[in-house]
Amino acid sequence: MIQLSAIMLRPLSRGLMTCGRRRLLHPPTSSSRITKVEQMRRGILFKMGNVTPSRVVGYYVIFPIIPDETVENNIFLANIASNADWPTLSSATPKEMYEGTIRLMMEYGATVMEHLEHLKNAKEEEQTFENVVDPLLTEEYDVNYAFQTLILRMLTDWPLCTNREFESDMHHLKIMCARDQMEKLTDEGFQNAIKSLYSKRYDMDNWKVRLLEYYLLEMKASGLDRHDEKTRKLIGSWSKFVDEYRAKYLTNIMTTNDRYMFTVIDRAILKDAPPHILRILATDQLEVEKGPWRARMAPQSIMPFMQYCGDRALRANAWEKWTSRASFEHDFYNNSVNIEELRHNNEGWAKTLGYASVSEHRLANKMAGSPETVRSFISALTKRMRPVFMDRMEAWSAFAAAKEMITTELQPFDLFYICRKEAEHHYEVDPLSLMKHFPFWETFANLIEVLSHIFNLKFEDVTADTKLERCSTDVKIFSVDDLTSG
């Protein structure tokens, strides 16, 4: 049973019938806290203490608890049902917003199933955009609106909880939202209706045609339009192996994050580092200025270290370890086999779906559309950027020789540090002093002035003139008008 509450969405224990007894496989704990070793250990102990039944004698059907939320007792749902222009960000409680969103998602899922059943009996000549797609769009809009509003509220004004609990809550919610919206694309009747509508698209509005094209691209890219058993098995096999080796690849990367540490004791080595960088690298958050400071093999740690570490040898060592992690230097965590398996299985998956290459498969439902578009963009960018880069490289080399006594050719591990130093020297900028010259609201006002000029927009602060609800009194509300289209 899944208990939906205001603070958490937790998978509870599932039942298993063996020898007339019901054993709990998982404690009521976040599944993210259970390691693979613990799961394997529990599986072994379970098999040792329980005889495997010779045949399945029964099963449990587990239904979710549907929140008792309606427009009569939930302010958030009432606001959405009335098509109000602004959400109830302060008057609705976190519980109302969370359970109201869950209720909307469940109702939308039921609507999708009913609509798909209806399409099975609909004749092709009677199918139109209005009776095939439109019945789902309104509820889909409400679900997305509720979901995005809930995220806004959770990120700004939510009962205190740990990051792990917050991520776990959002994980289940995101999966539920994505699953419900993709459900229609898996139905063969809906797919055939979309194909039929697209073949008669010439009198449709442009936005309707684009939506149909999006559905068709998603169906093909995911293999949802393949219904013969052999192809379905092939797609399932390729997909399974891709997921398996991707998980192994990421596990190896994450495992090697802490294999190498780069510790700095001398404050002079990080003399240019601002307070927020020292806080990231400090081993003791209460002694940020005194140190020691340590970088680990993770982007949020190693990149600031490369920018502000004044010791060239230490930078070189850190860069070498960073670029070679999970490679041939690590026997157990070597990712070369996983990369080859990912390449092989992704290629097989793409060709099974009818694409010539992995890149064509990956870009089919993206904005670029095709590998040729990407290659053309990269070629044009290279022609423009190469002369600029060569010019900047000369400036960086001259600065490094004059200020840092680096007379040899600059290496990749030098650029993080030298580029920052040269820019600060060239423009005579002190980062610590610069931070004081960019207060938020004054900077925001200048930014929207630039945007107004570029896009012909009009921003107006209406915070004092409206009674629109806010998550916090620090929030300001702007009306935005498009002066081009009105």
Single-letter amino acid, residue 146: A
Mean pLDDT of 431-445: 82
Give per-residue pLDDT as tens, 336-391. Answer: 999 999 999 999 999 999 999 999 999 988 888 889 999 999 999 999 999 999 99
Rounded CA Rg of the chain: 28
| Helix boundaries (H) for 223-274 | 229-255
Per the structure block, which two tokens stand in for 208? 């309707």
Q: What angle, rounded to 10 degrees, do the helices at 299-308 and 412-426 form? A: 60
Q: What is the residue-wise DSSP string for 407-447?
A: -SPP-HHHHHHHHHHHHHHHTT--HHHHGGG--HHHHHHHH
pLDDT grade, residue 20 (50/70/90)? very low
Per the structure block, which two tokens stand in for 183? 């459900």
Mean pLDDT of 125-143: 90
| Helix boundaries (H) for 50-187 | 75-81, 94-120, 129-132, 134-156, 163-182
Measured at the CA of 67, the angle between CA 63 and CA 68, to 5 degrees, comes to 125
pLDDT grade, residue 50 (50/70/90)? low
Beta bridge partner(s), residue 457: 482
Q: End-to-end CA distance of the chain: give it in Å, rounded.
A: 51
Give per-residue pLDDT as tens, 151-185. Answer: 888 887 777 777 777 777 788 888 888 888 888 99
Give per-residue pLDDT as tens, 236-250. Answer: 999 999 999 999 999
Q: How many CA atoms lie within 13 A of 156 on its CB side?
A: 14
Mean pLDDT of 194-214: 91
Distance CA 144, CA 116 (A): 20
Dihedral sign computed on CA atoms, order 155, 161, 164, 170 = negative
Mean pLDDT of 74-84: 91
Q: Residue 451: pLDDT above 70?
A: yes
Report long-range pairs for 73-80 (Cβ below 8 Å, ≥24 apart).
74/99, 74/100, 74/103, 76/100, 76/101, 76/146, 76/149, 77/103, 77/104, 80/104, 80/142, 80/145, 80/146
Single-letter amino acid, residue 40: M
Give per-residue pLDDT as tens, 410-419. Answer: 999 999 999 9
Distance CA 473, CA 27 (A): 41
Q: What is the mean pLDDT of the chain?
A: 83
Distance CA 87, CA 142 (A): 12
What is the model's pLDDT at position 37? 64
Q: Are 8 and 99 in contact (CB under 8 A)?
A: no
**The model's pTM:** 0.72
Q: Are 184 and 112 in contact (CB under 8 A)?
A: yes
- List the chain domain ranges: 2-49, 75-225, 366-427, 438-482
Which residues are CB-contacts of 316 (< 8 A; sequence separation ≥ 6)? 411, 413
pLDDT grade, residue 332 (50/70/90)? confident
Among 51-65, 136-150, 459-473, which range has the highest average pLDDT?
136-150
Q: Residue 121: pLDDT above 90?
A: no
Mean pLDDT of 105-123: 89
Distance CA 189, CA 108 (A): 18
CATH number of 75-225: 1.20.1050
- 88, exposed or middle or buried, with CB in 10 Å at 0-12, 13-18, 19+? buried
Q: Are 91 and 469 in contact (CB under 8 A)?
A: yes
Which residues are CB-contacts of 297 (< 8 A; sequence separation ≥ 6)? 256, 257, 258, 259, 260, 321, 322, 325
Q: Are 241 and 341 in contact (CB under 8 A)?
A: yes
Single-letter amino acid, residue 457: L
Distance CA 17, CA 1 (A): 16
- In order of 79, 98, 125, 153, the CA distances from 89 in angstroms are 10, 12, 46, 7
Per the structure block, which two tokens stand in for 387? 């002369």
Q: Are 332 and 339 in contact (CB under 8 A)?
A: no
Q: What is the 3-state secondary structure (H, E, C) of 336-396?
A: HHHHHHHHHHHHHHHHHCCCCCHHHHHHCCCCCCCHHHHHHHHHHHHHHHHHHHHHHHHHH
Q: Residue 46: pLDDT above 80?
A: no
Q: What percent of the chain has pLDDT over 70?
A: 86
